């Protein structure tokens, strides 16, 4: 079972930064993401989707491979690859993996112009480690399928600004030395 989390950021760049952070956490096996898309509300009121997976390109590559293989069997590899790429691209364009595009556009319609919503479909997560990694990164939780306690932990982690300050900023200033410098030697 997957959970959906939608977090709003003030800019598309900030949402993309957070998506890259989550992808990095996935490489550390702390989270498994089914999909991560960004929806941006433009000044003209249109919503642009920035998908993680390009299903058309993925279908074209897959179709090319199978077309080339079938074409090689029937001694027409170039024709088979071209036909396979075209059919794969068409199939990829008609296939929608992950989060429904219409749902993302409808929900993003409530954003202010310039804001971006990060949609993440989470398959598995090591909650405490991921929350620690995203602590203080900002963003406003718009919608989740998490239970109330998990959602509150996420809100608290995003809002915790103390974790973003470097440790030295919280420490007392170091005492300044007095007198002449000591000789080296």
What is the reported pLDDT for 22? Answer: 92
Confidence at residue 69, expressed as pLDDT on a 0 to 100 scale: 47
Q: Of 18, 8, 17, whose CA–CA distance to 116 is shortest?
A: 8
- Phi, psi angle pair for 28, to nearest 5°: -90, 5
pLDDT tens for residues 73-110?
555 555 555 555 555 544 444 444 567 778 777 777 77
Q: Give just the sign of the alpha carbon dihedral 130, 51, 102, 10.
A: positive
Low-confidence residues in the chain, pLDDT < 70: 1, 53-98, 161-185
Q: Distance (Å, rounded) from C-alpha 183 to C-alpha 88?
A: 75
CA atoms of 96 and 181, how far apart (whole Å) = 69
Locate 160 and state its tokens: 């915790």
């Amino acid at each position: 079972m997957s959970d959906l989390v939608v977090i709003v950021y003030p800019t598309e760049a900030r949402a993309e930064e957070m998506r890259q952070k989550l992808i990095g956490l996935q490489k550390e096996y702390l989270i498994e993401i089914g999909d991560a898309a960004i929806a941006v509300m433009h000044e003209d009121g249109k919503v642009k989707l920035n998908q993680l997976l390009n299903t058309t390109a993925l279908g074209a590559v897959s179709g090319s491979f199978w077309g080339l293989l079938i074409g090689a069997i029937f001694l027409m590899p170039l024709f088979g690859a071209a036909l396979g790429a075209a059919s794969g691209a068409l199939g990829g364009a008609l296939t929608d993996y992950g989060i429904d595009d219409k749902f993302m556009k409808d929900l993003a319609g409530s954003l202010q112009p310039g804001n971006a919503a990060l949609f993440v479909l989470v398959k598995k997560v090591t909650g405490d480690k991921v929350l620690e990694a995203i602590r203080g990164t900002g963003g406003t939780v718009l919608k989740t399928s998490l239970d109330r306690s998990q959602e509150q932990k996420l809100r608290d982690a995003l809002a915790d600004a103390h974790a973003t300050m470097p440790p030295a900023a919280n420490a007392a200033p170091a005492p300044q030395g007095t007198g002449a410098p000591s000789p080296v030697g």
